[in-house]
A and B are shown apart, each in its own frame.
Chain A
Amino acid sequence: MNKSLNVSASPHVRDARTTQSLMGDVLIALLPAGIAGVYFFGLKALLLIAVGVISAVGSEFLYQKATKQKVTVTDLSAAVTGLLLAYNVPVTAEWWQVMIGSAFAIVIVKQLFGGLGFNIVNPALAARAVLQASWATSMNTFYVDGVASATPLAQLKAGGVTSASLLDMFIGNTAGCIGEVSALLLILGGLYLLIRRVIKWHIPVAYIGTFAVFMAIYSMATGKTLDSFMLPQLLGGGLMLGAFFMATDYVSCPMTSKGQIIFGIGAGLLTSIIRLWGGYPEGASYSILLMNLVTPLIDKATKPRIYGSEVKTNA
Chain B
Amino acid sequence: MKALTFKGGVHPLHKQHEGKNLSKDAELRVFSPAMVVIPMSQHIGAPCKPCVAVGDQVLLGQLIGEPCGFVSSPIHASVSGKVIAVEPRPHLNGSKVMSVVIENDGRDELDPSVKPKGTLDSLSQEELKKVILEAGIVGMGGAAFPAHVKYAIKPEQKVDYLILNGAECEPFLTSDHRMMLEQSEKIALGAAILKKASGAPVCIIGIENNKPDAIASMKEAIMGYDGLSVAELQTKYPQGGEKQLIKAVTGREVPRGGLPIAAGCIVSNVSTAAAMADAVTSGMPLVRRSVTVTGSVKEPSNFIAPVGTRYSDLFEACGGFDGEPAKIISGGPMMGLSVADPDIPMTKGTSGITVFSEQVYKPVLESNCIRCARCVEACPVGLEPYILDAAALRSNVDVLQAKDAMSCINCGCCTYVCPAKRNLAQSIALGKKILTKATKN
Interface residues of A (CB under 8 A from B): 1, 3-15, 17-19, 21-22, 72, 75, 77, 115-118, 250-251, 255-256, 303-309, 311-315
Interface of B is mostly: loop
Q: Does B381 contact A (CB under 8 A)?
A: yes
Which B residues are in CB contact (< 8 Å) with A255? Answer: 371, 373, 376, 384, 386
Question: Among A12, A19, A115, A307, which residue has its beta carbon within 8 angstroms of that of B407?
Answer: A307
Which B residues are in CB contact (< 8 Å) with A314? Answer: 157-158, 160, 261-264
Q: Determine whether the beta carbon of A117 is less than 8 Å from that of B368.
A: yes
How far apart sit A203 and B324, CA to CA, in the bound complex (Å)?
47
How far apart sit A30 and B252, CA to CA, in the bound complex (Å)?
45
Minimum distance in angstroms from B6 CB to a CB of chain A: 8
Residue of B at shortest CB range from A114? Answer: B368
How far apart sit A115 and B157, CA to CA, in the bound complex (Å)?
53
How far apart sit A3 and B327, CA to CA, in the bound complex (Å)?
11
Which A residues are in CB contact (< 8 Å) with B120? Answer: none
Interface residues of B (CB under 8 A from A): 10, 12-13, 154, 156-158, 160, 171, 243, 247, 252-258, 261-264, 321, 324-329, 333-340, 342, 354, 356, 361, 363-364, 367-374, 376, 379-384, 386, 404, 407, 410, 412, 415-421, 423, 425-426, 429
Q: Determine whether the beta carbon of B336 is less than 8 Å from that of A10.
A: yes
Query: 6 shortest A-B CB distances, which residue pairs?
Result: A11-B412, A9-B426, A308-B256, A255-B373, A304-B382, A12-B333
Question: Among A72, A118, A307, which residue has its beta carbon within 8 angstroms of that of B380?
Answer: A307
Which A residues are in CB contact (< 8 Å) with B321? Answer: 1
Q: Determine whether the beta carbon of B263 is less than 8 Å from that of A311.
A: yes
Q: Determine whether the beta carbon of A11 is less than 8 Å from that of B382.
A: no
Minimum distance in angstroms from A194 CB to a CB of chain B: 15
How far apart sit A308 and B337, CA to CA, in the bound complex (Å)?
27
Q: Determine whether the beta carbon of B369 is less than 8 Å from that of A117.
A: yes
Minimum distance in angstroms from A29 CB to a CB of chain B: 16
Minimum distance in angstroms from B163 CB to a CB of chain A: 14
Residue of B at shortest CB range from A252? Answer: B371
**Interchain residue pairs with CB less than 8 A apart (25):** A6-B326, A6-B363, A8-B327, A10-B329, A10-B410, A10-B425, A11-B415, A11-B416, A12-B333, A12-B354, A14-B415, A17-B419, A19-B420, A117-B371, A250-B371, A255-B373, A304-B379, A304-B382, A306-B381, A307-B247, A307-B254, A308-B256, A311-B254, A312-B255, A314-B158
Q: Determine whether the beta carbon of B334 is less than 8 Å from that of A8.
A: no
Which A residues are in CB contact (< 8 Å) with B252? Answer: 311
Known: A11-B334, A17-B419, A250-B371. A5 touches B381 (CB 8 A): no
User: Which of B255, B262, B370 gathers the greatest number of chain A CB atoms within 10 Å?
Assistant: B370
Minimum distance in angstroms from B29 CB to a CB of chain A: 23
How far apart sit A15 and B373, CA to CA, in the bound complex (Å)?
14
Known: A5-B326, A14-B364, A21-B419. A311 touches B376 (CB 8 A): no
How far apart sit A115 and B371, CA to CA, in the bound complex (Å)?
13
Which B residues are in CB contact (< 8 Å) with A9? Answer: 423, 425-426, 429
How far apart sit A308 and B263, CA to CA, in the bound complex (Å)?
10
How far apart sit A312 and B338, CA to CA, in the bound complex (Å)?
38
Q: Determine whether the beta carbon of B261 is less than 8 Å from that of A8.
A: no
Q: Determine whether the beta carbon of A307 is less than 8 Å from that of B243.
A: yes
Minimum distance in angstroms from B25 CB to a CB of chain A: 22
Q: Determine whether the beta carbon of B372 is less than 8 Å from that of A250.
A: yes
Minimum distance in angstroms from B432 CB to a CB of chain A: 13
Residue of B at shortest CB range from A260? Answer: B373
How far apart sit A88 and B426, CA to CA, in the bound complex (Å)?
41
Q: Determine whether the beta carbon of A306 is less than 8 Å from that of B382.
A: yes
How far apart sit A13 and B295, CA to CA, in the bound complex (Å)?
12
Q: Determine whether the beta carbon of A15 is less than 8 Å from that of B262.
A: no
Q: Determine whether the beta carbon of A116 is less than 8 Å from that of B368.
A: yes
Which A residues are in CB contact (< 8 Å) with B425? Answer: 9-11
Given contacts A12-B327, A14-B418, 19 further A-B contacts (CB under 8 A): A1-B325, A5-B338, A6-B363, A7-B327, A7-B339, A10-B337, A10-B338, A10-B425, A11-B333, A11-B335, A12-B354, A117-B420, A255-B386, A307-B381, A308-B256, A311-B252, A311-B255, A314-B158, A314-B160
Known: A22-B419, A311-B263. A306 touches B10 (CB 8 A): no
How far apart sit A11 and B383, CA to CA, in the bound complex (Å)?
18
User: Which of A12, A251, A308 gathers the greatest number of chain B CB atoms within 10 Å?
Assistant: A12
Q: Determine whether the beta carbon of B333 is less than 8 Å from that of A10.
A: yes
Which A residues are in CB contact (< 8 Å) with B382? Answer: 304-307, 309
Minimum distance in angstroms from A118 CB to a CB of chain B: 7
Q: Determine whether the beta carbon of B262 is less than 8 Å from that of A313.
A: yes
